[in-house]
Amino acid sequence: MKVAVVGATGMVGEVMLKVLAERNFPVTELLVVASERSVGKKLTFQGKEHTLIGLETAVAAKPDIAIFSAGGDISLEWAPKFAAVGTTVIDNSSAWRMDPSKKLVVPEINAGELTKDDKIIANPNCSTIQMVLALSSLHKTYNMKRVVVSTYQSVSGTGVKAVQQLENEIAGIQGEMAYPYPIGKNALPHCDVFLDNGYTKEEMKLANEPQKIFNDRTFSVTATAVRIPTAGGHSESVNVEFENDFELTEVRRLLNETPGIVVQDNTDTNTYPMPIYAHGKDDVFVGRIRRDETQPNTLNMWIVADNLRKGAATNAVQIAEYLVQNQLV
């Protein structure tokens, strides 16, 4: 299994390599791909040194799978070139997510839709992945009508410059700003760029991607995405209205039985999900499960996950695992 990781030196790319190693993905040959300025440098994977190569060299090598985390423009230009030589591309950018000809996949929910003909597969937005995984079994059972989500997103979702900005502010150092304002001791209601409708691009991803993943337009999502001064891990306050009523004990049972979900929900012991404890883990943590007492059939939940792992790298590797296990590559 010849595997290329495109964007191998980025924050998500580094985690992708780590997850591939941890999960013992059957890599027989690894191609680590980076921008031209990094070509020729070395990195270590499973104790072996690898030389970074450019995109043209990687395409010529015809890998079986290429996992991309190098930005939308790179994906739009290069994913079709890999696909043209028979490579299956799993893309972590937003480039292909809403393309009607491409699958948008969370393996626990809709990997069964994948076929050998899917040569470019989209990895959803990090905030979307953790939300839909927590909602999947509940939607099947009770039928969602409307979801209101407010996110509390870490600086690692922006990238290494944002992490450095937060670290600089904590240390009292003047440095390069990833955001238009300080992030330390602050909260920015501004994730990604603003669109003409007054929402940010991140908020519209949360609105649109779940409908595609569930292949269902009967529910709607409205979102407010906020950047907070945590180094890693995204948190979400989710209010979901269902067609049908529910019992909280049944909701907890369904969540406990959902692969990839860990319920942390005991107010007597102050047990609830927090990003500091989600760090480095592949699970999605759900707590503060309670009925919305202001209207019928409505539930409140608090959902937390490591955005670089299940929100990006791990989900992509799980897609690759499914392709290998089902002989789709």
Report the catalytic residues: 126, 234
156 marked as part of a ligand binding site? yes
Supply φ then ψ for residue 249, to 5 degrees. -65, -35
9 marked as part of a ligand binding site? yes
Of 76, 82, 75, residue with least CA distance to 57: 82
Residue with tokens 């009770």: 142
Alpha-carbon distance 237 to 224, whole Å?
A: 10
Alpha-carbon distance 57 to 179, whole Å?
A: 35
295 marked as part of a ligand binding site? no
12 marked as part of a ligand binding site? yes
Alpha-carbon distance 329 to 327, whole Å?
A: 6
CA 127 to each of CA 66, 92, 139, 149, 196: distance values in angstroms, whole numbers, following the listed order: 23, 13, 18, 10, 22
40 marked as part of a ligand binding site? no
239 marked as part of a ligand binding site? no
10 marked as part of a ligand binding site? yes
23 marked as part of a ligand binding site? no
38 marked as part of a ligand binding site? yes
**What is the DSSP secondary-structure string of 33-94?**
E--GGGTT-EEEETTEEEE-B-HHHHHHT--SEEEE-S-HHHHHHHHHHHHHTTPEEEE-SS
264 marked as part of a ligand binding site? no
309 marked as part of a ligand binding site? no
- Binding residues for NADP(+), as ranges, are 9-12, 37-38, 156-157, 307
- Binding residues, as ranges, are 9-12, 37-38, 97, 153, 156-157, 227, 307
- Binding residues for phosphate, as ranges, are 97
- Binding residues for substrate, as ranges, are 153, 227
